[in-house]
Structure 1
Amino acid sequence: MSIEHPHPDLVADPTAGEEAAPEIHADAAAVRAEEIALLRRKVDGISVFLAGPSNVVLQLAWPEVGYGVVESKVDSGKVTQHPFKRFRTTIGYLSIALLGSDEQRTAFRKAIDGQHRQVRSTPDSPVKYNAFNRDLQLWVASCIYYGTIDIFTRMHGPLTPHEEAVVLRAGARIGTTLQVHPDDWHQTPADFWRYWEEGLARCHIDDRVGSYLVSLMKVEIMPKPVARLAGPANLWFNNGFLPQSIRDQLGLSWSDADQRRHDRILRGLGRVTRRAPHVVRAFPMNAMAWNLEVRRRLGRPMV
Structure 2
Amino acid sequence: MGAASDDLEDVERETIRLVSAWRMTEDNPVEEIVVSGAQDLADHLVGRLRSALGLSVHHVVAPLDTVLAADVEHSAGTPWGLVGLGRAHMLSHDRIDLQHPRVAEDRVAPLRRRGMLLAGVILVLFGWIWSSGNKEVRQLQAQIDLLRAELPQQTQAEGEALRNLFRYRHAEEWLSVAPDFVAELQAISGVVPDDGRAVMGSWRGFLAFDGVVYDNKASGKQKWKSSYQLRFVMTGEAQDRSVADDIRAALVEGDRYRIETSGAEAAKGKRLPRAFTYELGRESDP
TM-score, normalised by the number of residues in structure 1: 0.18
TM-score, normalised by the number of residues in structure 2: 0.19
Between 1 and 2, higher relative CO (CA 8 Å, sep ≥ 6) is seen in 1
Structure having the larger proportion of residues in strand: 2
Larger Cα-atom Rg: 2
Structure having the larger proportion of residues in helix: 1
